[in-house]
Chain A
Amino acid sequence: MGKRVGMEVSIAAAEAVKQASVDVISAYPITPQTHIVEHLSELVANGELDAEFFCVESEHSALSVCVGSEATGARSFTCTSAQGLALMSEITYIASALRLPIVMIIANRTLSAPLSIWNDHSDAMSIRDCGWIQFFVENGQEVYDHVFISYRLAEDRAVLLPAIINMDGFTLSHVIEPFEMIEQEKVDQFLPPYQPLYRLHPDRPITMGAFALPSIFAETKKAQEVAIWSSMPKILETWKAFGDMTGRYYKPIETYKAEDAETLLVTMGSFGETASVAVDRMREEGRSVGLLKIRLWRPFPFEDFRQVALKVKDLVVIDRAISVGGPGGPVASEVKAALYGYDSRPSVYNFVAGISGRDVAPFDFVKMVDKAEIEIEEGNREGYELYGVRE
């Protein structure tokens, strides 16, 4: 077993990037991602990490540099939050279509306006369809672990897609947690050097990022879509290999006290740990409530989700982003899409809670379950509301 240490999650994330032996780091500092890149720049400056650190002038350039470096076959890393992600959004679509296995951590933060530095998922949802493999992790250890998992997965010849590790800003990025670090020899064994399929090299010229006519564009997108769906078994395989090495096994959908439950809370990200405390309290009161946590956001694990969700009476989906003028939160939209067409599907009551970092305590989850059960009882089976708003 690896060494157990107490560490700030951002520092542990940076240590994982170091252990993953990246060749290029290109990032622009933005709260709450700052500690990750600061620590990485120190590691490079101190000679502890043999990598190029690009101090770029914007996030658009940060990811553009990664696209270029990854295209030459260099393992590349970037990291951002909120407005920074919005600025790099154009390039996110390019990285995935070029099939460049970049890994990015997003310390999730609210998109302006009003200007806010605190946490929610509005940034991640703004690039939901960018074609990257997207994880939402629940705690610091998962951040650390998913750096290795993401690189091995992304660089797999059968995958070749970039990956995003979403971690809640402040809630995770700025807290100190216990970590089980992995020995370097084990990391090196798990994550061999990157062997690109195609790369830019003067000895063998190729073109990346060329223009495509309407007569071929749809075919390129079909190929990309097939690639991300085909990555599903590889994701499971990579998690299995990681579990065999560390004892920490991950799944696309995680459950807590879900067997025999009539009602399930559905969460994504760090909400999961708080919600599990709420589930314990409700179970103590004899209520039949469990928890379903979505770890893999893209490709969305429809099958795994349905296996759990179709067995229950009610789902209480807690989103951390609003789709203004839309059907509710983005997670609830996906959940409803997954269940559409099944006659005996559960009710889906949707709350958007904790936006811009407003605290959501265990009793809030209890209150949301209370409210949802009353509403569903009264026939409002697909309700949606913004939780905790002062009227």
Chain B
Amino acid sequence: MTKPESEWTWKEIPVGNVILEPGNASQYRTGDWKSLKPILDMEKCIHCGLCYIFCPDMAYNLNEEGYFIADLFYCKGCGICAKECPTGAITMVVEEEEK
């Protein structure tokens, strides 16, 4: 897909709405759903990976420095990571209030 679905005209839709490109659900921005977003306090993080394990959307990925970071394109803001974090390193913040 060269452009997001939300920009397609009706003429560009394949007959019967078939999806010809496998795995294009990865282009679905579930991050649009959230009102809260997780903020990580790196001082408190012990790299245990529980946020990564519990995230129902597999939004967490390990970065080069060894921290698990939520991909906000997919993160729905459910807060499970913050709830499960054993050191309280993750805080859920109202998106528009965070700078």
Q: Do A and B bind each other?
A: yes
Contact A216 to B13, CB < 8 A, known contacts A206-B19, A206-B20, A210-B19: yes
Q: Closest B-chain residue to A218, C-beta based?
A: B10
* Bound-complex Cα distance A216 to B17 (A): 10
Residues from chain A with Cβ under 8 Å of B10 in the complex: 219-220, 222-223, 226
A98 to B18, CA, bound (A): 8
Q: Assess whether A307 is interfacial by the CB under 8 Å rule.
A: no
Interface check A208, CB cutoff 8 A = yes
List the A side residues contacting B18 at CB < 8 Å: 98, 198, 206-208
* CB contact under 8 A between A198 and B14, given known A206-B20, A207-B19, A210-B19: yes
B2 at the interface (CB under 8 A from A): no
Nearest A residue (CB) for B24: A207
The answer to whether A99 has its CB under 8 Å from any CB of chain B is yes
- Is B26 part of the contact surface with A, judged by Cβ < 8 Å? no
The CA of A308 and the CA of B16, in the complex, are separated in Å by 35
A208 touches B13 (CB 8 A): no
> Is B9 interfacial (CB 8 A cutoff)?
yes
Q: Whole-angstrom distance between the alpha carbons of A219 and B13 in the complex?
A: 8
B11 at the interface (CB under 8 A from A): yes
- Tell which of B10, B17, B20 has the most Cβ of chain A within 10 Å: B17
- For A206, the chain B residues whose CB sits under 8 A away are 18-20, 22
Q: Is A223 touching B22 in the complex (CB atoms < 8 A)?
A: no
A window 226-248: CB within 8 A of B: 226-227
* Closest beta carbon of chain B to A374's beta carbon, Å: 49
Within 8 A of B (CB), among A357-378: none
Within 8 A of A (CB), among B1-34: 5-6, 8-11, 13-20, 22, 28
Contacts of B28 in A (CB 8 A): 213
Contact check, B11 vs A213: say whether CB atoms are below 8 A apart: no
A1 near B: Cβ within 8 Å?
Answer: no
Instruction: Assess whether A99 is in contact with B6, with CB atoms less than 8 Å apart.
Output: no
Cα distance A292–B15 when bound, in Å?
35
B15/A160 in contact, CB under 8 A: yes
- Min Cβ gap B48→A in Å is 35
A47 within 8 A of B: no
**Are B16 and A160 in touch, CB under 8 angstroms?**
yes
User: Footprint of A on B, CB under 8 Å?
Assistant: 5-6, 8-11, 13-20, 22, 28
- What are 14 contact pairs spanning A and B, CB under 8 A? A97-B16, A99-B15, A99-B16, A160-B16, A197-B15, A198-B14, A206-B19, A208-B17, A209-B17, A210-B19, A213-B5, A216-B6, A219-B9, A223-B10
Q: Which 9 A-B pairs have the closest CB atoms?
A: A99-B16, A207-B19, A215-B6, A222-B10, A219-B10, A223-B10, A98-B16, A216-B5, A198-B18
